[in-house]
Amino acid sequence: MCIRLLSHPWIQRTRRSGHEPRRTDSPTWWPEELQIVNVQVGEPGPGEIRIRHKAVGLNYIDVYHRTGLYPLKTPASIGMEASGIVEAVGEGVSHLKVGDRAAYASQPPGSYCEERVMPAMNVCKLPDVISFETGAAMMLKGLTAQYLLKKTRPVEGLEKGDFVLFHAAAGGVGLITCQWAKALGLQLIGTAGSDAKCQLALANGAVHAINYNTEDFAARVKEITDGKGVKVVYDSVGKDTWDKSLESLRPFGLMASFGNASGPVPPFAPAVLGKGSLYLTRQTLFSHITSREVTQAMADDLFDVVASGKVKIHIEQRYPLKDVQQAHRDLEARKTTGSTILTLD
């Protein structure tokens, strides 16, 4: 069984009407293009493995692929992370063997399935102390938290006691980052869309949590930091938080964009960054995991912090793979917290 994206219906609809595609068009029916199909799974070629999945991770990038914000040639398989058992190994693959427990966050998309053949480079052996469900829920989100906190740093660096601002702090990446930042001695200020989600962020290590639907988070950040602002903002929300994120930075601070759940940020003049000589970067995980060695080093860091108990992976939602349409609806409607997995039993 495999879930395939048959087309991008919103693109077809807007093209027929002669209008530019808009992400606000009827999000309730987009998931209907995700359909169950049967496909033939072959043998792995050089540098590939065949893996039978035990659990599959759900991420916001899957929504981007489904809607066409990140276009794929359709029909297409989507999904970027999963865990399972290695069933076959192609020529040249030495770090995995048949029977290994494994997990990955990897290109190309295609994890929404029972089994697949895929490149082995970003597939990592899963330690026995970490369950398949946890492995599927943490790879993309956990590796994202790893490169944000360890590699995406302001020019002045990060030291214990420094304030950072993290949007969507009650989401999958957010809850991991809250805990990891606390373990590193950072003071993470989280934002979320409800008081309940703010409490969840606080329970997982945020020192302050701001409901951005009821408070001006930029003003609150300045209050918390005695008017100085934060050294870095980690922003996966995009359009809705952009301007006030820039206002929240101290001079020479870093605006680290790694997603756009509320929509793409409109074009802006570089002079906007001149107030405070700010830095801006747009990060993606797949720019970081470009070699076997780097992927394994990042994964080892993640495995260690999870195995130590300093970071717990909160799986708050489980959907059978066949119910993937509903999973997408709930994710896009911001009804989820923590991590979500698609189950295969």
Mean pLDDT in residue range 208-225: 97
Residue 21 has a pLDDT of 38
Mean pLDDT in residue range 185-214: 97
Structure confidence by residue, pLDDT tens digits, 160-199: 999 999 999 999 999 999 999 999 999 999 999 999 999 9
Mean pLDDT in residue range 3-29: 46
- Measured CA to CA, the distance from residue 252 to residue 284 in angstroms comes to 22
Q: Phi and psi dihedrals of 278, rounded to 5?
A: -80, 155
Residue 226 has a pLDDT of 98
- Measured CA to CA, the distance from residue 101 to residue 103 in angstroms comes to 7
The answer to whether 261 and 239 have CB atoms below 8 angstroms apart is no
Q: Phi and psi dihedrals of 106, rounded to 5?
A: -160, 150
The boundaries of every CATH 3.90.180.10 domain in the chain are: 2-141+287-343
Residue 133 has a pLDDT of 98
Residue 6 has a pLDDT of 75
Residue 69 has a pLDDT of 85
Mean pLDDT in residue range 139-157: 97
Owner of token pair 């966050």:
105
Q: What letter would DSSP give residue 271?
A: G
**b/e burial code for range 131-154 (CB count within 10 A of at least 16 → b):** bbbbbbbbbbbbbbbbbbbeebbb
Angle, nearest 10°, between helix axes 172-183 and 195-203?
Answer: 40
Strands 249-257 vs 279-282: parallel, antiparallel or unpaired = parallel
Residue 63 has a pLDDT of 92
Query: Which one, of 161, 270, 142, lies nearest residue 207 by Cα?
Result: 161
User: pLDDT at residue 15 above 80?
Assistant: no
Q: DSSP assignment of 126-161, as one string? A: PPTTS-HHHHHHHHHHHHHHHHHHHHS--TT---TT
User: pLDDT at residue 235 above 50?
Assistant: yes
What are the tokens at 95? 């770090």
- Fold that domain 153-282 belongs to in CATH: Rossmann fold (3.40.50)
Confidence class for position 8, pLDDT limits 50, 70, 90:
low
Q: Phi and psi dihedrals of 82, rounded to 5?
A: -170, 175
Mean pLDDT in residue range 257-270: 92
- Measured CA to CA, the distance from residue 327 to residue 332 in angstroms comes to 9
pTM flag (> 0.75): yes
The answer to whether 68 and 8 have CB atoms below 8 angstroms apart is yes
Query: Which one, of 295, 297, 265, 293, lies nearest residue 281 by Cα?
Result: 265
CB atoms within 10 A of CB 252: 13
The SS3 of residue 50 is strand
Radius of gyration over alpha carbons of the chain, in Å? 20
Alpha carbon 7 to chain centroid distance? 23
Mean pLDDT in residue range 71-100: 95
The boundaries of every CATH 3.40.50.720 domain in the chain are: 153-282
The SS3 of residue 227 is coil
Residue 30 has a pLDDT of 77
Confidence class for position 281, pLDDT limits 50, 70, 90:
very high
Least confident of 25-39, 49-63, 117-131, 269-283: 25-39
Structure confidence by residue, pLDDT tens digits, 103-130: 999 999 999 999 999 999 999 999 999 9
Residue 70 has a pLDDT of 87
What are the tokens at 166? 């993290």
Task: Supply the mean pLDDT for the chain.
Answer: 92
Identify the CATH assignment for 2-141+287-343 out of 3.40.640.10, 3.10.450.50, 1.20.1250.20, 3.90.180.10: 3.90.180.10
Mean pLDDT in residue range 275-286: 96
- Measured CA to CA, the distance from residue 21 to residue 275 in angstroms comes to 34
Structure confidence by residue, pLDDT tens digits, 51-78: 999 999 999 999 989 988 888 888 889 9
